[in-house]
A and B are shown apart, each in its own frame.
Chain A
Amino acid sequence: MDHTAEVREFFKGLLAIRHDRQPFTDSTSFFLSGRLSSVDAVELVVFLEEKYGIDFAEIGFDQSQIDSVEAIGSLLRNVKAID
């Protein structure tokens, strides 16, 4: 599974806990729109750290970096480019 599909699945899981069955696209905003809260953001941060080795303490954390599947994709590309 590529990282976009994995991130999509992870978002699906977070939404399921909130009984949110609305569809979403890769550009759907989750945190700025309020569909997910900062509690969910913490789980997502841990997922990205463990799965892709992202160190937010090093690169700086901004919620807009993880607001959508697309934003995470761009974050992962940037981190890889830096590595």
Chain B
Amino acid sequence: MSASATIVPGELAPKGLSRLRNFRLIPRVDTYPAVVAFAQTVFGKLVLLALFGLGLAYGSTDWLILTLCLALITFLPAQRRILVTISALLFAFIVPWKFFKQPFYSVALIVLVLTLGAVLFWCATLWPRSWYGRRPVFVFLCSFSLLIVIASYTPQGTRAYQLVWDFTNSLSVYIWFICYSLLDQKAAGRDPFSLQLGSYRPFWGSTNTPFAKGAAYLRGIEARNPEQLAVTQLKAIKLLAWSIMLSLFGAVFNYCAYGYLHIPQFSEALYLSANRTPLPWYHCWASILVGFIGSLISFSAFGHRIIACCRMAGFNALRNTYRPLSSRTVAEFFNRYYFYFKELLVDVFFYPFFLKYFKKNHKLRMVGAIFAAACFGNAYYHFARDLTFVQRQGLRGALMSDRVYLFYCVLLAAAISISQLRHRKPAPSGFIRGQLWPSFLVLLFFCLLDVFGFSDRNYPLTEYFRFMGHLFNLNL
């Protein structure tokens, strides 16, 4: 009796735990054979597209045209890649037409940028052994930097000034997409430029960071048969549903934090600190914690929506944000929070350095490559993204006002280096020691680091340190 009485709870506990672990808010419909089979029929495809379109309509103005593009791609899978290119061009020229101040001029600038991308790609392909062909990304980024310098020193108020800046700004939006094309130039089965073009600001959306990387990645993750397409599209619907749920949760979270509890925004807390009327330390903590969690939620929802569209088009892309709270190391969080940005830095800055320099000294090689990516690459990306500051403040002024973000990049690179140099071993057993405590430390680090990551270029670095002091009740 007593033996059985002790065994029963022991047996129940793991079952309960495993049930909890397997619980999903959104059922794993992509693993149900009947649903996968249904999704392969014409009616099933129509149902999926209708559901997806309905989901897109929540929070997207272009949902109808996006759904139409997806419908075409769904029913003509053999022409998928070329349809992706046509859709990308549609979203580059036609969809934003009404928002262009000077439509023909804006279109001409985009055409010029895309033509430049094509010429660079063809030159690298035609002469792979030439000086340019061996390092096309490096040459392109150096030329772009030179263009920024030229634009900065062009006399203001002239026609040339406006022209050079408009072109530089248009090119800045496409540079990382062009870089991915140039990286693909050496691949054996590389796509022609007509297909590369589909990954230049793809129609499913992106920031300046190419979401779902470039054409090479799309080739690798494309659905190869009707079953794979069905599974990928079911995953797309799940991800879109999750994105909507996160958006709703984010809205409630923001209302509770800012509307009900009146927690100050971080920008407000920093402003008060800089004006020598700091908030109490607990308000400062609340402002950075709420800001961090809020941005985590909204950024996840934003990325999920884009990747859901990409999946609906038949590409089984990885999520942009994937369980960042479970990260046990700094490097892991960086990977899980903004996957495609990290991939961009790795592909364009990390590997070129890592494969070329300090091969004999593993630690130096690793640290050098991490600094090339997480510090230099990260800072360069943001500098190239925020060219309006360069135009407004001049090159020197913009570089000076970028110091806070540069400091952020140095701290980030140093932390990732330490994280990577520590000997990798399986996590200690036990939930608290193995998962909770390391995750807490990582999140605390990024929460504090975010203080320097938020840079509106209005305050010097000392003001950020002053704010850090207020967090620990120190009036500096």
Contacts and interface: CB of A to CB of B under 8 A. Distances in A.
Contacts of A1: none
A16 B221 contact: no
B354 interface: yes
A27 interface: no
B221 to A, nearest CB: 6
B427 A19 contact: yes
Interface string A67-78: 100000000000
Interface stretch (B262-270, B404-412, B418-426): B418-426
Contacts of A19: 426-427
A39 B339 CA distance: 12
Contact of B187 (A46, A49, A62): A62
Interface string A28-71: 01001010011100100110010000001100111010010000
A56 B351 CA distance: 10
Contacts of A32: 217, 220-221
A19 B366 CA distance: 24
B335 A39 contact: yes
B420 A39 contact: yes
A34 B420 contact: no
B318 A57 contact: no
Interface string B354-368: 111001001000100
B329 to A, nearest CB: 9
B216 A64 contact: yes
Interface residues of A, number: 20
Interface string B16-42: 000000000000000000000000000
A62 B335 contact: no
Interface string B174-192: 0000000001001100000
A81 interface: no
Contact of A60 (B186, B335, B354, B420): B186
Contacts of B354: 42, 45
B356 A17 contact: no
Contacts of A39: 331-332, 335, 420
Nearest to B221: A32
A64 B187 contact: yes
A64 B343 CA distance: 14
B370 to A, nearest CB: 10
B301 interface: no
Contacts of A64: 187, 216, 220
B355 A38 contact: no
A10 B420 CA distance: 19
Nearest to B354: A42
Given A39-B420, A45-B355, A57-B355, A17 B362 contact: no
B223 interface: no
Contacts of B322: 34
Contacts of B183: 62
Given A17-B425, A34-B318, A39-B331, A61 B351 contact: yes
B355 A56 contact: yes
Contacts of B355: 45, 56-57, 61
Contacts of B424: 17
Interface string A3-19: 00000000000001101
Given A17-B424, A46-B362, A38 B220 contact: no
Rank and list the top 7 A-B pairs by shortest CB-CB distance, nearest first.
A60-B186, A57-B355, A34-B318, A32-B220, A56-B355, A38-B346, A57-B356
Interface of A: 16-17, 19, 29, 32, 34, 37-39, 42, 45-46, 49, 56-57, 60-62, 64, 67
Given A17-B425, A32-B217, A62-B186, 7 more contacts: A17-B426, A19-B427, A29-B220, A42-B366, A56-B355, A57-B355, A62-B216
10 contacts: A16-B426, A32-B217, A38-B335, A38-B343, A38-B350, A39-B332, A57-B355, A57-B356, A61-B355, A62-B216
